[in-house]
Amino acid sequence: RAGAMCDRGLMRSACGMLSELGRVDGTDVYRAEFEDGFLAETAEFYRAEMGGAVAAGGTAAYVARATARIAEEHERVGNYLAACTAGPLGEVLDRELVTAHHQALVADPDGGAAALCVRGDASGVA
Amino acid at 5: M
pTM, 2 dp: 0.82
How far, rounded to the nearest angstrom, does the alpha carbon of residue 71 sit from its chain's CA centroid?
8
Tell me which H or E stretch contains 46: helix 36-50
What pLDDT score does 56 carry?
Answer: 82
Cβ atoms of 19 and 77 within 8 Å: the answer is no
Cβ atoms of 16 and 82 within 8 Å: the answer is yes
What pLDDT score does 17 carry?
Answer: 95
Q: What is the pLDDT of residues 60-103, one digit of tens each?
A: 888 889 999 999 999 999 999 999 999 999 999 999 999 998 88
What pLDDT score does 115 carry?
Answer: 62
What pLDDT score does 116 carry?
Answer: 63
Q: What is the pLDDT of residues 5-58, one digit of tens each?
A: 889 999 999 999 999 999 898 899 999 999 999 999 999 999 999 988 887 887
Residue scoring higher pLDDT (44 or 125): 44
